[in-house]
Structure 1
C-alpha cells in the first residue's frame, strides 16, 4: 500500500524536545540514546537537536525493517557518514557500486573457511606477544588495557592483512593512528550539521592520523602489486581479485578496502576486549568459570586454533560483552525516499539512528538488561530471542564481514592471556563510554598483570 493511499492510518511520532535531549546528548550521547529508547519502550521517536531532528530506531522489528526489509531505502548516506568517509573512503562501508565492488572482493576473504586457514598465523602472532606481558608481570608494571589489547590485536591483524610486506615499525604506526582518527571525530559526530569549511576541535588530529595511515598503506599496496604473492595475506588476495577491475579501483580502492577491514578486525576487537576486564573484576563468578575453562582447554599453552571450538563458555562471555559494549554503537541511515516505519511517515532525507547499544538494553526484550550475564547466551536460550534484539555486527546486506574473524581472534587472544596471566583492574570505575566512532571507555583502564602461578585462590 502506498503512503498516499494509507495516509489516514499514519500516526504522529512523539518528539523529544531539545531541552530534554541536548544536555544529556552532549554529555554522554551513547547512554542518552539508550535512556531514551528505554523510556519509550522501543517505540519510534524523534529527537529535537536544534536544526537536526533524527529518528531513534530501537525496536527489533523496526531495526529489521530499516537494516534488512527496506534496506535499499535506508542507506549509509548523509551528514553522519561524512566524517567516516574521510577515513574509510568509498568502500565496504559505502553504498552503490563502490560497496558492491568491495563486498564482492572482500567476502571470499572472510568466510569461515578462509578465517580457519589463517587461524594458525593469528595464534602464533598473539602468542609471541605474551612474553611482553610476562615482562610487565615480572616488573610489577601496570598496562593500559586499551593500548595493550590494541597492540596484541594489531600485530595479529597486520600479519593477516599485509603478511611480510610491511615492517613491524610501520605496522605499529597503524593502531595509534586509527585510534586517533576514530576518537578525534567526536565533535563531527555530535554536530554533524557543522560545515567542513569551519575548523572544529579534532580536525587537525584527524587529518594527521589519516595521513599516517595513507603513508603506511599506499607503499605496501604498490609493493604488493609489483611483487604479487601467493595470496595468503589479504592485500595479495585483494590485488589479485582487483587485477582486472577497470572501474577506477586502483590503489585508492584497495586502500579503502584495507583500512575498512583493518578497522573491523583490529579497532573493533581491541575496543570490545578492553571492556572485558572491568566486567570480570565485577563478576568473580564469571571470571572463575572462564579461568577454569581456559585452564582445562588450553592448559599452560600455547593456544591453538583447535581450542576455539572447545572454549564454549568463552564464546558466551564474548557474546554478552558484545551485547553490553558493541564496538559499533550506532548505525546511522538516511531515507532516500518517503517511507513508513511503525505507522509513521518518514520523509526522504530523514536521518535514522540505530543503536545496538540501546536495543541491547531494552527491558522488553532482555531480562535484567544492565547485568552482565553470559548465561543468557547458553545454547538453549537462543530460540527465545528476536533476531534483531541482538545485532552487534549489524544486519541485512551490510552485516559486518568481520564477525567470523572476531569469534576466532578474540578467543585465541583470551586463551593466550588467561592461560598464563590474570589481569587485575587497578583503575576505579565507573567506566563510561566516550563519544567516539567506536565504543571505548572515556578514561584509561589500568591493569596489573599477574602470573597464573602467583594468583591467590587460582585454579593452578
Structure 2
C-alpha cells in the first residue's frame, strides 16, 4: 500500500519537475526568490508518527517534493530538508552555521549518555576529533586489515557447532559477538572483555528504545518524567560500571600503552596543547564503543533476509566471494576485488542508515531552497527520508545493489546517499564500517550458506538508531572446501 501511494506521489512530483517549477511556484534551485515554508499540519504529523514513524517520515519527504517544509509539532516546528543540493549547503558548505542541535530533538536525550565530546559540537568536539581522527583515517584502517580479519575469523569459528548440528542462530546476536570480538581486540587492546562489550551493546539497545518518547515529544523538559527514563538511567549506570574502572586504570599506563582508543584519549593533546579530563575521556570511550560496533551490527542484520528474498543478488554475491576468496581465509589482497560486496553494503546503508536523523540548529538566519530560516531554528536532515524518496531514486523500495555501480554513482549527487552524514561531522567510523562489514560478510559466506527460519524482510523500528522489527534467525550449513 505504501509503495503504491509513494509511486503516485512520485508521478506528481516528476510532472512538477518537468514543468520546471515546484508545486508552490518557485524554481527548483530555490534561490531566485524567497517564500514561506509550507507547513505539514499537526493533525497529519502527530498521528502518522505515532502509527508508523518510518513510513510517516518517508511520506513527509515524498509530499515535500524536495522543497523545504515545516513539520508542525505544536510549539516545536522544525524544517525538513531533503533535497541533495540543500543538504550539501547545510552539512558542508555552511556547516559552521548549522551546528548539532544539542538542546533538542535527537541529541538532547542522548547527550545524557554521551556528554560533551566527539558526538557533540564546538570546542569539545574539535578537541576529541583532533585526537581521534588519526586512528580512523583510510590509510590506518587499511593497515589493520589482517588483524581485523584474523579476529573476525576466530569469532566466526564459533558458528561451526550450530552449523554442524543445524541449530538456529540469531544473526543479530552473532554479529554483535563477532564485531565485539574484533573491535575489542584491535581498537581497545582487550581492555574491555567481549562479555562486557556484549553487555554494553544490550544497554545501548535499551537506551535506543528508552529515548524514543523524548524524541517524539522534543519540547518536553528533561525535568519532566517520561516513559523510558528509568530504563535509560539503569542502562547508563551499567555502562559506567563497566567502563569507568577501565578508563581510570588506563590513565596510569597511557604513556607506555599502544595506540588503543582509551590510551590515545589520555595521551592526546588538544589543538591548544591541553589534555582531556576524565569526564571527556569517559564520554569519548562510550561514544567510540558505540561508533565502532553499532552500525555494522544493525545494518548487516538486514542482509540475510534480502539475500533470501533476492536469489539473483545472492547468487552474484556468492559467486564473487567464491571466486575471489575461494577456500582461503579472507585477507587484505581480497578486498579490492570484492566490488559487488561493496555495492550490496551501500544498498543496505541506503535503506537502513544507522544514523537516520541528523538534527541541526541554525546559528544565524539563512535561506535554504528559497525558504528563509530564522536563527535558532531546528533543521531536520534524515538519510532515511532522502534515500527512499522517488524524486532521487528509481523504485526506491527495491533492494538493488546495481544502483552503486561506479558509473551510476558518478552520475548521482553526492548528497543523495549520505548514510554517514557529511562535511566536518561525517562519521569518523565510515572507513571502519566498510572494512569490518566486508570482512564479516566475506568470511561468513565463504564458509557457510544459510536458510532463514522466517523468510520475510523485517520492518523498521525507529529508535535512536534504526532496528529490525523482528529477530533474524537462520540455520547454517558449511560450504565444502571452505577454510576451517
TM norm. shorter chain > 0.5? yes
1:131-150 correspondence to structure 2 within 5 Å: 131-150=157-176
Deviation at 1:310, TM superposition (A): 1.5
Q: In structure 2, do the counterparts of structure 1 residues 314 and 57 end up closer, same or farther at CA, with 3 Å as the change threshold? A: same
Match of 1:3 in 2: none
Question: What is the SS of the residue equivalent to 1:195?
Answer: coil
Secondary structure of 1:216's counterpart equals helix
Is 1:192 the equivalent of 2:218? yes
Aligned with residue 41 of structure 1, among 65, 74, 82 = 65
Residue in structure 2 matched with residue 10 of structure 1 by the alignment:
34
The superposition leaves residues 147-167 of structure 1 with CA deviations (integer Å, 9 ceiling, x where unpaired) of 221221122112223203233
Counterpart-to-counterpart distance in 1, 2:147 and 2:51:
42
**1:207-286 map, 5 Å:** 207-228=233-254, 229-242=256-269, 249-286=276-313
* TM-score for both structures, normalised by structure 2: 0.88
Q: What is the aligned partner in structure 2 of residue 4 from structure 1?
A: none
Is contact 1:42–1:59 with CA below 8 Å preserved after alignment?
Answer: yes
- Output the CA distance in 2 between the equivalents of 1:191 and 1:278: 33
Aligned counterpart, 1:371: 398
2:447 counterpart of 1:447: no
Distance 1:173 1:434 in 2: 21
Mapped to 2, the partners of 1:426 and 1:376 lie a distance apart of 29
* Correspondence for 2:322: 295
Residue 389 of structure 1 and its aligned partner are, at CA, apart by 0.7
Match runs of 1:4-403 below 5 Å: 9-77=33-101, 78-80=103-105, 81-228=107-254, 229-242=256-269, 249-403=276-430
Residue 30 of structure 1 deviates from its aligned partner by 2.3
Q: What stretches of structure 2 of length at least 5 have no aligned partner? A: 1-30
For the 8 Å contact 2:305–2:455, the answer to whether it is kept is no
Deviation (angstroms), 1:98: 0.2
Deviations 1:342-361 (A, max 9, x none): 11111122211111111112
Give the C-alpha shift of residue 230 in structure 1.
4.1
Q: Which residue of 2 aligns with 1:414?
A: 441
Per the TM alignment, residue 183 of structure 1 is displaced from its structure 2 partner at its CA by 2.6
Contact 1:301 1:416 in 2 (8 A): no
Whole-angstrom CA distance in 2 between matches of 1:151 and 1:15:
45
For 1:122 and 1:63, locate their aligned partners in 2 and report how far apart those are by CA, in whole Å.
34
Change in CA separation of 1:251 and 1:243 when aligned onto 2, cut-off 3 Å: farther
User: Cα distance, 1:306 vs. partner?
Assistant: 2.5
Over residues 36-87 of structure 1, what are the superposed CA-to-partner deviations in whole Å (9 max), with x where a residue is unaligned? 1112221111111222211111000111111112211211122121111111
CA contact (8 A) 2:176 2:198 kept: no
SS at match of 1:93: coil
Structure 1: 5+ residue stretches without partners = 1-6
Q: Give the distance between the partners of 1:440 and 1:301, measured in 2 at CA.
A: 33
Q: CA deviation at 1:232?
A: 3.3
Q: SS at the partner of 2:474?
A: strand
Distance, in Å, in 2 between the alignment partners of 1:12 and 1:165 is 54
Query: How far apart in 2 are the matches of 1:189 and 1:427?
Result: 31
Q: How many residue pairs are counted as aligned between the two chains?
A: 449
Say whether the 8 Å CA contact 1:146–1:444 is kept in structure 2: yes
C-alpha deviation, 1:323, in angstroms = 0.9
Cα distance, 1:248 vs structure 2: 6.7
Secondary structure of the residue that 2:467 maps to in structure 1?
A: coil
In the alignment, the residues of structure 1 paired with residue 192 and residue 160 of structure 2 have an alpha-carbon distance, to the nearest angstrom, of 26
- What is the TM-score when the length of structure 1 is the normalising length? 0.93
Separation of aligned partners in 1, 2:356 and 2:194 = 31
